[in-house]
Chains A and B, each alone.
Chain A
Amino acid sequence: MTNAGVGAAANDLLLVSGLETHFPFGSRWFSRHRWVRAVDGVDVHVGRGEILGLVGESGCGKTTLGRSILRLVEPTAGTVRFDGIDVLALDGRDLRAVRRRMQIIFQDPYASLSPRRQIKEIIAEPLLLHRLAAKSDIEGRVAGLLGDVGLEPYFMYRYPHEMSGGQRQRIAIARALSLDPQFIVADEPVSALDVSVRAQILNILLELQRKKGIALLFISHDLAVVERIADRIAVMYAGKIVEEGDASRLMTSPLHPYTQVLLSSVPAVDRRQRRGRIRLTGEPPSLVQPIAGCLFAARCPEVREICRQVAPALDMKSAGHRAACHLR
């Protein structure tokens, strides 16, 4: 049994195990045996109506993981089970049917909305593509979806350039909601927004969870935002999950040395909150060369000999709290 089984419950909506997404690079004509291991053996699960926060620094593979789950990029190994369905085995009509239930929101609402189309068309497009609404019903449906994200119906006649970043992100959410999904991947949904409007978007996402029971994979580099919104948190480093657990437990008593470094690096507004800083040396490892042992060993302040030789498994350390570290 893989580690995904540990801590995963039978009623999980999403069960990802041993997922790998490796990208080939280098010359196509001579050799293709060099790979970037963007996602390298990931086990995660998301319960129905649950928010799983996925944190990590740029280049750790968190965006690729989100896209692999939806098959926006094709994983090279592993399984993704959504509501019991083996997503990686599907194609054609069956894949389309599952995709209706899984949606994505991107970071940059300036890039993700077509500038030449009215908001009404943008939001209604998925409905029409999946033949879920007649043309005559569209305005009513769009008005309802705009209401779900706190916008007045008249916004349907506007274009993206007439709207602020926060309003555009609401449109992206309304579009994702149009197919009544059970699961949404939200990839850095507030990172491009002004600080003062981030809370509006986070509150909408929380409301979707509470009122509609939508589960979220909330991907972010911002630990404080993730702490606020997530039920559970998974920490990713160099293509692997290094720690995962209940949000408040993971934030108050992180186990993995990398999680501890991340937390201690967040600048604190409250001077009393500042803790002793742990500083990192070096850079994340190359995702091309396979590394024996723990991927964090080269930078870990507590590294021991075993860490350089044996890769630690993501083991259960206490109820609902897993970490991949020999020392804990």
Chain B
Amino acid sequence: MLLSVENLATYFFLDEGVLRAVDGVSFAVNEGETVALVGESGCGKTIVALSLINLVSSPGRIVRGRVVFQDEDVTQATAERLRQIRGRGIGMIFQEPGAALNPVRTVGDQISEVLRAHQAPTRHEAWRTAIRLLGDVGIPDPERRANAYPFEFSGGMRQRAVIAIAMSVGPKLLIADEPTTALDVTVQAEILDLLRSLQEQHGMAILLITHDLGVVAEMARRVMVMYTGKIVEVAPADALFDAPCHPYTKGLLASIQHLGARNEPLEGIPGSVPDFLSLPSGCTFHPRCGIADSSCAAEFPVLQSVGSERTCACYKVRSA
């Protein structure tokens, strides 16, 4: 097992109260596999990602749990050790590639800098490697483009450059947080192709964080569904899309618009995602749920096995 997250909780201590952004999350990622963490905006999925590399900043803090990466608890690592883990073991790419790049330095410089920080080759070697990496991520004419500034790149090219930086240190795990959300659909398809081919070549695991179930279906073998800071369902991707178990997953699947469904009724989930500072009692989904009863308001259900490799946190599903 490459990564094991055990009962992770990350809270934000605000004037208005304690915001439980991640509240008792456990999961594992195996070597070379692609796992998706799915949920709507504000469900805590990005905070999970930041917690994995111990990048949560004040007023947020990991309050309990362990993040074990290659037999080492990241939450207990020293600053120096963390820097090494981030550099050699875990790479990360974000939604907004423009924000991840320094606007006043060339793309080649920024890749070289990462290489020199973690592997310390000579300046010349680092530059050569940077050019090779830019070529690997599909940037045409990399010798020339290495001298370009981020603003001279399109959104898709910037995301390729960020992927080159993440790949520069040969990560075992790539955390991709909404990597294609800011991109047009044709560019998204290219970036997903690129991630798949890099994974085939280098064998890294990918933790794909997204709200887009279409992207999940294209990429992931396993899916974890998150709602209000908790994982409510885990399943192999095919099984999840064929027969979702949790009412929230069902609602989410019914909500997505897919091509060729012109004459089907438009369904969604009633209500809206609750505010973290005033979460409903018990199962936080119960006010929006079609099958909830009074017992659902008492306590949050734990994840229980509902089949091979499948877990679900729902009283109703369990008793069925």
Which residues of chain A have a CB within 8 Å of any CB of chain B? 57-58, 164-167, 194-200, 202-203, 206, 221-225, 227-228, 247-248, 251-252, 261-271, 273-274, 277, 279-280, 283
| Count of A-B contacts judged by CB separation below 8 Å | 122
Q: Are A228 and B185 closer than 8 Å at their CB atoms?
A: no
- How far is it, in angstroms, between the C-alpha of A110 and the C-alpha of B87 when the chains are bound? 37
Of residues 177 to 220 in B, which have CB atoms within 8 Å of A's CB atoms? 184-186, 188-190, 192-193, 211-218
Q: Are B272 and A270 in touch, CB under 8 angstroms?
A: no
Is there contact, CB below 8 Å, between B258 and A268?
Answer: yes
B156 to chain A: closest residue by CB? A283
Instruction: Please judge, given known A-B contacts A221-B184, A268-B217, A283-B154, whether A196 and B257 are in contact too, CB under 8 Å.
Output: no
**For residue B251, which residues in chain A have a CB less than 8 angstroms away from its CB?**
196
Residue among A195, A203, A251, A280 with the highest chain B CB neighbour number at 10 A:
A195
Chain B contacts for A273, CB-based, 8 A: 258-260
CA distance A197 to B273 in the complex (A): 9
> Do residues B272 and A269 form an inter-chain contact, with CB atoms below 8 A?
no
A199 touches B185 (CB 8 A): no
Stretch binding the partner chain, chosen from B74-82, B115-123, B163-171, B262-270: B262-270
Partner of A196, one of B190, B241, B273: B273
Measured CA separation A126–B155 after assembly (Å): 38
Contacts of B185 in A (CB 8 A): 57, 221, 223, 262, 265-266
Q: How far is the CB of B277 from the nearest CB of chain A, in Å?
A: 13
Contact B262 A58 (CB under 8 A): no
Known: A57-B186, A277-B189. A166 touches B272 (CB 8 A): yes
Q: Which residues of A contact B253 (CB under 8 A)?
A: 269
Across the interface, do A251 and B259 meet the contact criterion of CB distance under 8 Å? yes
Does B217 contact A262, Cβ atoms closer than 8 Å? no
Contacts of B269 in A (CB 8 A): 196-197
With A164-B273, A221-B185, A262-B185 already in contact, the answer to whether A269 and B258 are too (CB < 8 A) is: yes
Nearest chain A CB to B250's CB is how many angstroms away? Answer: 11
Q: Which of B186, B192, B241, B268 contacts A197 (CB 8 A)?
A: B268
Name the B residues within 8 Å of A222 (CB-CB). Answer: 257
* B252 contacts A by Cβ under 8 Å: yes
Cα of A164 to Cα of B218 in the assembled complex, Å = 30
Find out whether the CB atom of A167 lies under 8 angstroms from the CB atom of B272: yes
A167 to B272 Cα, complex, angstroms: 9
> Within 8 Å CB of B295, what residues of A?
none
Q: Which A residues are in CB contact (< 8 Å) with B184?
A: 57-58, 221
Cβ-closest chain A residue relative to B192: A267
B189 and A224 contact, CB distance less than 8 A: no
